Amino acid sequence: MTIAFIGLGIMGSPMAANLVKAGHDVVGYDLSARRVAELESRGGKGAAGVAEAVADADLVITMLPDSPQVEEVAPVILAHGAAGLIYLDMSTIKPETSRRVAREAAAKGVRALDAPVSGGERGAVDGTLSIMVGGAAEDFEAARPVLGALGTTIVHVGPAGAGQTVKAANQLVVGGVYGLVAEAIVLLERSGVDPVAGLDVLAGGLAGSRILDLKRHSMIRREFAPGFRIDLHHKDMGIAVAAAREAGVALPLTAQVAQLVAAARAQGHGSLDHSALLKVVERLNT
């Protein structure tokens, strides 16, 4: 396939590279010329803009920061993409934005799917992302071969917008686990217990999680280089809270986690990895 990839950031760049490795012709665009050049160095092609990138594409992927960026780019894709084009938005955005894009795409003969991901930068690099897809079942099946180059858990979860709702649920769980791991580290350290030994035991028991597997040692070392920034998780928690309001459900722990993430951002940690929730918990205890 010829694939246009719009948004070559921390997640998008390795994802586009994996599509090149899988044998696809990838044409990338990003506001950063350096990122476009990186894709070219990996065997992809660069474009000067969104319209140029999508002109000859069989499939388009967007991996953008938030709903406003998708709302800006989607009309250009729909205006310049061919009828029958598959449009995979893999950004994490509001479910209602995905539903609106899907309606507008259908009117243009474009097959739109919302396909947000989980797994962080490591999952993007390794091609082991978990991908939750909303949209028509037949369009999902058409896109599945491409998604297979990006992830290992690929599930059609429902109609347009459903992928984003599942991603909101993912982010509230991830944020909650980070907060609890942070509290566990503080409890162990203040109690005079080696946190490495303590978390090693937790990781092997019922408390085990992907976050403990991947992040416990870097959290103990206070290494917060971003795989996924606090700023983005703050945005995602806003989506989760809004989704709860729209569904008419009370999610009290989600609200608490959203406040912890907001506190991290207010304290100037927005550019750090979301495991930096540890810094908030530490500050509460000083």
Active site residues: 167
User: Between β-strands 45-46 and 59-62, what pairing exists: parallel, antiparallel or unpaired?
Assistant: unpaired
For residues 250, 234, 104, 54, the Cα torsion angle rounded to the nearest 10 degrees is -150
Q: Is 155 helix (H, G, I), strand (E, B) or coil?
A: strand
Q: What distance in Å separates the CA atoms of residue 10 and residue 14, rounded to the nearest whole number?
A: 7
- Contact between 158 and 134 under an 8 Å Cβ cutoff? The reply is yes
Q: Collect all residues with Cβ–Cβ distance below 8 Å to 286 and sequence separation of at least 6.
A: none
Q: What distance in Å separates the CA atoms of residue 25 and residue 23, rounded to the nearest whole number?
A: 7
Q: What distance in Å separates the CA atoms of residue 42 and residue 219, rounded to the nearest whole number?
A: 32
User: What amino acid occupies position 171?
Assistant: Q
